[in-house]
């Protein structure tokens, strides 16, 4: 990780430093969104010119971690070892380090710490609670078993969006007053890139509509392929539909719908693609479409906007916060509304170009540098021992004008 530090951290004050541990296991054991979040959060936090001392806890050694101590607590496939490591070994190590604060970035923990230690838990979404049928039994069971305990013990809960914060406080009212929002950032590698060789590698040809997500029911791709059929039936223009992402759980329904689709020959399923291939795929798309039923944030929307793709996204959960006024919206299960948005992108070149320009400005608000500085503000507020009800990062300086409502009741199904 880069040693370049952010110079403009005016929020830093002159109290004694805290010893802060970040439990960064997702860097080693995941490849999806939580892995991306944890890696960039750790890198961004370490760049801030801070007086605090940081310990990054992982299961493998990471020589790229700079401006922080990498504490390795090895993992093993031996039965029962993961629980032993999580509930005993890591807490023992944190006690030895005499940490003042522990940040857990993946919903699960921290556990078994002294009451004097600040516990910060990051919650990306509540999909296992809100959409249990879309997740495996063991994951649902663990979340329902441990989340109430985690929330009771947490000093502060960091949500990726106001929608997620509202969901947390709605389903776990005891968290009210301890939940704060910090919007994620997008990687700087996402910028307009025209690279035809990338399209050739995946048998993609322009024009095309693009969607990027795991192939699973919550991503609502059935609505997208139905709207795509309506679109193709209505015009002689023949763009491909490109679905980027690995197969997830319960993807069979989509496979069955695709098998009988009238335009199956023009629907490309790439599977998992390397991160470096995503910028040209976004950049050369005629539109990026994100029909998800629920998102805790929606990083692909930011990535697409940074690359200049006009965005069509579902008006649900956090997505209007991310898209602001720079996207076209539709109700997530309304095939006709999505079809109309696709037709608008095709027919209204002036609006499409405006969406591209507004998308650049909207995405520019969300950076990992900004995330890290706001997180350091939270560390400082904890150190100053402020009343927990006053610890709030605020989102007033973000343009989230696409948000449906500030009423929490409107954010969940």
Q: What percent of the chain shows pLDDT beyond 70?
A: 88
Superfamily of chain region 19-185+367-392: Glycogen Phosphorylase B; (3.40.50.2000)
pTM value? 0.88
Quick one: tokens of 122?
Answer: 């990051």
406, 163 contact by CB (below 8 A): no
The pLDDT value recorded for residue 40 is 93
* pLDDT grade for 24, boundaries at 50, 70 and 90: very high
The pLDDT value recorded for residue 395 is 59
Kindly report, residue by residue over 300-335, the tens digit of the pLDDT.
999 999 999 999 999 999 999 999 999 999 999 999
For the chain, the structural domain boundaries read: 19-185+367-392, 196-364
Domains 19-185+367-392 and 196-364 are alike in CATH topology = yes
- What is 196-364's CATH number, 3.40.50.300, 3.40.1010.10, 3.40.50.2000, 3.40.50.1820? 3.40.50.2000
Kindly report, residue by residue over 36-76, the tens digit of the pLDDT.
899 999 999 988 878 899 999 999 999 888 889 999 999 98
Close Cβ partners of 385 (under 8 Å, ≥ 6 residues apart): none
Q: What are the φ and ψ backbone dihedral angles of 6, each rounded to 5 degrees?
A: -80, 120
* pLDDT grade for 412, boundaries at 50, 70 and 90: very low
């Amino acid at each position: 990780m880069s040693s370049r530090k952010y110079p403009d951290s005016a929020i830093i004050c002159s109290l004694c430093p805290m010893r802060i541990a970040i439990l960064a296991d997702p860097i080693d054991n995941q490849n999806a969104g939580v892995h991306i979040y944890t890696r960039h959060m750790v890198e961004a936090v370490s760049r801030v010119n801070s007086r605090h001392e940081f310990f990054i806890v992982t299961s493998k050694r990471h020589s790229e971690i700079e401006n922080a101590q990498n504490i390795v607590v090895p993992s093993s496939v031996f039965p029962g070892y993961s629980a032993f490591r999580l509930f005993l070994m890591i807490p023992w190590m944190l006690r030895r380090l005499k940490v003042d604060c522990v940040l857990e970035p993946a919903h699960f923990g921290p556990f078994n710490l002294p009451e004097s230690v600040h516990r910060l838990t990051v919650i990306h979404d509540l999909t296992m609670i809100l959409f249990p049928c879309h997740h495996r039994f063991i994951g649902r069971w663990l979340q329902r078993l441990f989340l109430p305990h985690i929330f009771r013990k947490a000093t502060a809960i960091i949500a990726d969006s106001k929608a997620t914060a509202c969901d947390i406080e709605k389903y776990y009212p005891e968290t009210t007053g301890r939940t704060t929002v910090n919007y994620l950032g997008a990687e700087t590698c996402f910028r307009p890139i025209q690279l035809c060789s990338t399209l050739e590698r995946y048998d993609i040809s322009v024009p095309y509509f693009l969607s990027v997500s795991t192939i699973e029911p919550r991503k609502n791709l059935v609505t997208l392929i139905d709207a795509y059929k309506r679109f193709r039936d209505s015009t002689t223009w023949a763009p491909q539909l490109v679905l980027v992402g690995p197969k997830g759980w319960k993807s069979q329904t989509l496979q069955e719908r695709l098998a009988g689709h009238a335009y199956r020959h023009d629907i490309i399923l790439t599977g998992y693609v390397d991160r470096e291939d995503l910028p040209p795929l976004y950049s050369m798309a005629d539109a990026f479409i994100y029909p998800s039923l629920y998102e805790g944030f929606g990083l692909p929307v930011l990535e697409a906007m940074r690359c200049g793709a006009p965005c069509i996204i579902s008006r649900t959960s956090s997505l209007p916060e991310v898209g602001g006024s720079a996207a076209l919206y539709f109700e997530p299960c309304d095939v006709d509304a999505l079809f109309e948005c696709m037709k608008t992108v095709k027919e209204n070149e002036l609006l499409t170009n405006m969406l591209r320009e507004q998308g650049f400005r909207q995405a520019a608000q969300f950076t990992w540098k900004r995330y890290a500085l706001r997180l350091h503000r939270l560390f400082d507020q904890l150190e100053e021992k402020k009343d927990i009800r006053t610890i709030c990062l605020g989102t007033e300086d973000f343009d989230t004008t696409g948000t449906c409502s500030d009423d929490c009741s409107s954010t969940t199904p």
